[in-house]
Chains A and B, each alone.
Chain A
C-alpha cells in the first residue's frame, strides 16, 4: 500500500492578494488560537487511521503569519505526526517577508525540510499589481535565512502574464530566481479566477489582461531558460532540479490518497473525497458540534475516478500512466476516450507510447481544451456521484 499525503490549511494572511482564490482571511485583530486548537483536533482524528503518511504540506493563506505561540502548538502537533510516520517531505508555505529565525527554528525542529515561497516577481510595480506585500529585496534574504536553518529544498513561485509585464522583464525575474540556486521553481500564468478582486477589476475595465500570444512567449522563455539551467519540467507549471520534484503535489497529480485538515481543506482517501467548511467560524462550530467539519463528500465511481486520472495526470510531463489507469479503472485508454486519442496524436497534440499518454509542447499550450475534449468523449454513463453527506448550514 502506497503512502498518502497530509495537507494542513492555515487560512490567515496579512492581507488578501487580488488574484488569490484560496480561502483565507486577514488575521489582523483576530485570535488564531481557537482555530489552531480545532485544526490540531482534526489532525489527530484524521491521522488515527492506518494510512501511512509520506508527505506533509502546510499551506494557506500564509502559515507563517500565525502568532508564535499558535505556530509552536501547530508544529508540535505536526511533529507528533511526523514522528509516527515515515515522512520524507515536509513543506511549509511562506511569504519572504514573514520568515524569521524563531519560526524557522520551530519548523526545523518539527522536521520541516522544504520551504515554498511566493516570490512571484522581481519587479516592484508587478508585485504592486498583484497586491503582494513583500518587496523584491525580501526574496534573497528569505532564501538565505532558510538556508542558514538547514532547509535544503526550496521552491520559489513566479507569476507571468501580469498586466503590463513584458517578455524581457519576465526573463529577468526568471534569471534572478535561478541565480539564487533554489531546487524548485513553479511558474504560474496569472489566472483570472471567478470571484476574485482581480477578475472584478478586469470586468470593470480597470485591468487589461496580457495578450495570450505574449503569455505564450513568456511560457516558452520559461521552459527554455529553466531547461538550460538544469530545471526539468515535470508538470505544466512546475520545474525542478534532478530529484527535486515536489512529492506532495505528485500525490495529487498521480491521484493518490491525501488527507486535508483545516477550513476549506480537501482530502481524498480511498476514493472518498471531502471538503471542509470554508469559513473559520463555521469550521470551529462544526468541529465542536460534530467533531468534523466536512461541507461535502462523495464517493468516486470508477468512471469519475477515470475522469480525474485524465484531468490530473495529463498535466504531468510523463502523462497518464496507462498501466495505473487500467489497474485503477479496469478501462483501456484506447477505448475509454471514444477513439479521440488518435485525433489529437495526429494533430501533434498528444504523444502516445506504451506506458503513457502525454501532451506535446503544442498540446500543453492547449491543455484545457484537449482535456475537455477527451473528457467529453469519455463514456461516463452510470457515473453519477453518490453523495453520502452534505453540508449542514
Chain B
C-alpha cells in the first residue's frame, strides 16, 4: 500500500492539438511504464477512430512510479478529451484529480479551450500548473505565451514550466513539479469505503470495468459492495491499476485511482458518478455525483442499403453499452421507414457516433439533418420539449418558443475582429466581453443561440481567421425568441422533414436560400416543380425547377436490353432512398440542405 503522502492524481488539459497525448506518451515512456518498443504514437488513444482523427474522445488513465528526492511516488495520470463536445468527460476526469497540467502550445498560445478547461479546473479547486509545450518548434515564443497565461488566467508566468513532449526537454522538471506542487490526496483510509466511479468501460472478455477514485476506505477482491445510488449489490472479482495495461493489485485505498471488476454485465447497470461502498458497515452519504450530460443536438438514423432496422437496433445497443453519452429512441418516416431519433452532445459527437456505428458494426446509415431541441410554452402553461420541427404544435396553441443558448469564448487575431463581428451578428450573437491576450490576440465573449453555431460556425471561424481562431462554448439554458416554423412545399405538397425553426428576422433570407439550394438538389422531372417556403400558409420564397421537354433514348436493340434493365433496376433502387412526394422524388442530399445557414 502506497503512502497516501506519495500519491499524486493529476490530469492534463489543453486545447485540441496542443500536444496532450504526446506529452502523456513521454511521461509513460520516461517513467518506464512502457518500453520504447511498445511505444506506439499516442499510447493512451486506444480507439482506432481517435488515432485516425488524432484526438482523444474517451478519457484514459495510467499509473506510473517515479522516484523524487529518494522517495517513490505513485503518479496517476488521467488523460482528458480536448473537444468542446466532451466537456462533461473533462469534468468527470477532474473529479478524480487534485491537480492538472494546463498545456499550452508555445507557438499558438492560449486558445478557447485552454480557457474553458482552465475554468473547469478552477471550479473544481484543482492546483493548476501551466506547462508551455512544443518549445522546440520553429515559431515558438514560450515567454510571451507564459505572459498570456498570466494575463488571461491569472497564473503567474514565472511558475510556468517549459517542455517539449516530442524531445523530452523539461520532462524531469515536470515530474518534480507534479510531486512538489500538486497536493497529496486527502481521504481517510480507516473510514467506511467511498469510491467514486468516474468512468466505466465495457470489455468483451471481462465485463464492465469501473474506473474509480478512492475517496475513503479500502477495497479488495472478494468484498461485498453496494452501489449507493444504483442500489445494486455485487462481489468484487478484481481490483487493479492501469499501468497503462490493466494490472491486478491486492487492494486500492483512499487517495488512489484504479479499477474495479464486480461481475457487472452491462453499462446500463452502472451509473457513472455513483459511489461504491461496502454492503456491511458502509458509508452513509454518497459523494456528489455528476450532472448527466445533456443531449442538445438531434438527428435520425435510418437503416441504409443492406441494413435492417433490427441490425441497426443491435448495433446501437452495442455501442450504447460502450458509450452512453448519446440517446436513441424509435422513430419512423414515410420515406425512410423505421429508424432511431438520436441525441448528441454536439456535432462532432454525432459524427463520431455515426462513424463508430458504421465501423464497429458494419451497418449503413441514412442520416437526417441535425437540429437542436426547443421548449414550447403552450397557452395552457404546459412546457413541451420538441426534438424536431415536425413536432411543433399548432401555432394557435403556442405562447412562446424557447431555444437553447450558449456562452461562447472566441480567441482570434486582432485584425479579424471586424469579420468575426459580422459573422456573430448574422448568427444572432450578443457580445458580452472583450479581453486582450496580447497586442495581437483578443478573446471575445458572446452569447449565441445554439442552433446558430452548432453546424458550421467552427469552420467559418477557421476560414475567416486563416485557421488561427478558436471557439469554446457551454450551453447555458433556454430563452424565448421570435421563432417561427418555416415549411417547405415541393410541388405544392408540404414536406415535414424539410421544415426548419428559424428566427423571424432571418426567415426571408433563409427561405430564399433554402429553396434555391433545393432547386439544385432535386433533379429535373418531366414537369415543372415549384418549391416554396411558407410561414403559416404565407409563401415567402419560391423557385421553380424547369421540366424536361424530352427524355427518351433513341436506340434500344437486342444488345441493350440487359444494360437497360439493370439501369432501371438501379433507378428503382435509387428511388427507395428518395422521398416520394406526389410525383416528385427528393434525394437524401436535399434533407441536408436545411442545415445551410446561408451566410457567405
Contacts and interface: CB of A to CB of B under 8 A. Distances in A.
Contacts of B569: 375
A266 B558 contact: yes
A304 B566 CA distance: 10
A212 B568 CA distance: 22
Interface string B548-586: 111111111111011011001101100100000001000
Given A252-B561, A273-B561, A307-B565, A219 B550 contact: yes
Grouping DSSP codes into helix (H, G, I), strand (E, B) and loop, the B interface class, with mixed when no group exceeds half, is loop
Contact of A191 (B554, B561, B572): B554
Interface in B465-487: none
Contact of B572 (A5, A296, A308, A375): A375
Contact of A311 (B548, B550, B559, B564): B564
B430 to A, nearest CB: 48
A267 interface: yes
Given A252-B557, A375-B571, A212 B552 contact: no
B568 A365 contact: no
A354 to B, nearest CB: 26
A366 interface: yes
Contacts of B551: 365-369
B565 A188 contact: no
B34 to A, nearest CB: 49
Interface string B125-163: 000000000000000000000000000000000000000
A35 B561 CA distance: 25
B50 to A, nearest CB: 40
A76 B526 CA distance: 50
Most chain B CB neighbours (cut-off 10 Å) among A253, A315, A368: A368
B550 A312 contact: no
Interface stretch (A24-32, A171-179, A257-265, A320-328): A257-265
B335 to A, nearest CB: 14
B571 A376 contact: yes
Given A252-B561, A268-B558, A366 B548 contact: yes
A376 B561 contact: no
B574 to A, nearest CB: 9
Nearest to B559: A266
A315 B552 CA distance: 10
A109 interface: no
A41 interface: no
A213 interface: yes
A264 B559 contact: yes
A215 interface: yes
Given A312-B556, A368-B553, A266 B562 contact: yes
A227 interface: no
Interface string B497-533: 0000000000000000000000000000110000000
A196 interface: no
B552 A236 contact: yes
B571 A267 contact: no
Nearest to A359: B552
Contact of B549 (A188, A213, A367): A213
Contacts of A216: 549-550
Contact of B526 (A273, A343, A366): A366
Most chain A CB neighbours (cut-off 10 Å) among B562, B564, B571: B562
Contacts of A252: 556-558, 561
Contacts of A298: 562
B568 A375 contact: yes
A22 B560 CA distance: 10
Nearest to A376: B572
Contacts of A132: none
Contact of B558 (A7, A219, A237, A370): A7
Contacts of A375: 568-569, 571-572
A273 B559 CA distance: 10
Contacts of B565: 304, 307-308, 311
Contacts of A315: 556
Contacts of B562: 266, 273, 275, 296, 298
A18 interface: no
Contact of A236 (B526, B554, B572): B554
Contacts of B571: 372, 375-376
A311 to B, nearest CB: 6
Contacts of A365: 549-552
Contacts of A296: 562
Contacts of A273: 561-562
Interface in A227-269: 236-237, 249, 251-253, 258, 260, 264-268
Contacts of B555: 188, 191, 237
A371 interface: yes
Contacts of B552: 189, 236, 364-368
Contacts of B583: 343
A258 B551 CA distance: 28
B575 A376 contact: yes
B571 to A, nearest CB: 5
A267 B555 CA distance: 17
Contacts of B564: 311
Given A366-B526, A366-B548, A372-B571, A191 B558 contact: no
A369 B568 contact: no
Contacts of A5: 558
Nearest to A213: B549
Given A266-B559, A268-B558, A308-B561, 4 more contacts: A251-B558, A369-B526, A372-B572, A376-B568
Interface of B: 525-526, 548-559, 561-562, 564-565, 568-569, 571-572, 575, 583
28 contacts: A189-B552, A191-B554, A191-B555, A213-B549, A215-B550, A219-B550, A236-B552, A236-B556, A249-B557, A258-B558, A267-B558, A268-B561, A273-B562, A275-B562, A296-B562, A298-B562, A304-B565, A308-B565, A311-B568, A364-B552, A365-B551, A365-B552, A366-B552, A367-B553, A369-B548, A372-B571, A372-B572, A376-B568
Q: Lowest 8 A-B CB distances belong to which pairs?
A: A188-B554, A367-B552, A266-B559, A376-B572, A375-B568, A216-B549, A216-B550, A252-B558
